[in-house]
C-alpha cells in the first residue's frame, strides 16, 4: 500500500513540475543559494588559522621571556592564551554547526573524532552554545581587568561588567526559549 502512495506522490510531483517549470527552477536556485555561505565558512577557517598563529606567537613570547615576566604579567599572558582558545572554539562551533545546519549535512557517521554535540545540532542549540562561549570570553576579559585593576579605567570596568551581564541575561533567555521550543517539539 505504501508503494502505491509513493507512486501517486511521484505522479503528482511530476505533474506539478510540468505545470510550474518557472517556479520549480526558482526553487532550485533558492535551495542552491545556501552554498553562497560556504566561502564565508572557509573565511572563518582562515581566521581560525590566524588565531592559532597568534596563539603560538604569544606562547613563544611568554616562553622566551619567562624569567623576566612578573607574575601578574604572566597571568595576563595565560589569560590571553585562554581568550584566544575560546575564540577559536567559538569559530569552530560556528563553522561546523553553521555548515551542518544551513549548507550541507556532514557525512561523519562512524568517524572516531566526531564531536558528540554534532548529533543534535540545530539553530537553537548553536545559539545557546555561542552565548555560553561569549560569556566565557567576556569572563576572561573581566578577569584580565581585575588582575590589572591598577591600570584599568574604572569606567571601562563598569562597561565590561554591564556587557558581561547583558551576555549572561541573553544566554539565560536563549536557553529558556530553546527549552520551551524543545518542549513544544515533544508535544
Cα–chain-centroid distance for residue 172? 17
For the residues 166-185, what does the mean pLDDT come to?
85
Cell numbers for 157, please give them: 570596568
What digits encode the pLDDT tens for the residues 45-100?
Answer: 999 999 999 999 999 999 999 999 999 899 999 999 999 999 998 899 889 888 88
Nearest CA to 36 out of 107, 100, 103, 104 is that of 103
Match 505504501 to its residue by C-alpha cell: 2
How many other CB atoms are found less than 10 A from the CB of residue 103?
15
How many other CB atoms are found less than 10 A from the CB of residue 129?
19
φ, ψ of residue 114 to 5 degrees: the values are: -65, 120
Amino acid at each position: 500500500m505504501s508503494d502505491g502512495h509513493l507512486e501517486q506522490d511521484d505522479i503528482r510531483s511530476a505533474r506539478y513540475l510540468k505545470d510550474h517549470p518557472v517556479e520549480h527552477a526558482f526553487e532550485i536556485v533558492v535551495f542552491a543559494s545556501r552554498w553562497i555561505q560556504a566561502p564565508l565558512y572557509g573565511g572563518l577557517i582562515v581566521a581560525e588559522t590566524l588565531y592559532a598563529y597568534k596563539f603560538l606567537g604569544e606562547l613563544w613570547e611568554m616562553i622566551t621571556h619567562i624569567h623576566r615576566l612578573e607574575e601578574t604579567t604572566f597571568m595576563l599572558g595565560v589569560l590571553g592564551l585562554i581568550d584566544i582558545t575560546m575564540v577559536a572554539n567559538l569559530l569552530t562551533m560556528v563553522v561546523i554547526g553553521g555548515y551542518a545546519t544551513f549548507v550541507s549535512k556532514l557525512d561523519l557517521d562512524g568517524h572516531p573524532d566526531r564531536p558528540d554535540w554534532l548529533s543534535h545540532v540545530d539553530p537553537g542549540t548553536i545559539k545557546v552554545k555561542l552565548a555560553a562561549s561569549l560569556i566565557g570570553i567576556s569572563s576572561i576579559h573581566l578577569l584580565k581587568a581585575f588582575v590589572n585593576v591598577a591600570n584599568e579605567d574604572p569606567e571601562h570596568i563598569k562597561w565590561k561588567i554591564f556587557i558581561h551581564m547583558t551576555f549572561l541575561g541573553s544566554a539565560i533567555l536563549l536557553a529558556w526559549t530553546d527549552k520551551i521550543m524543545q518542549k513544544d517539539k515533544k508535544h
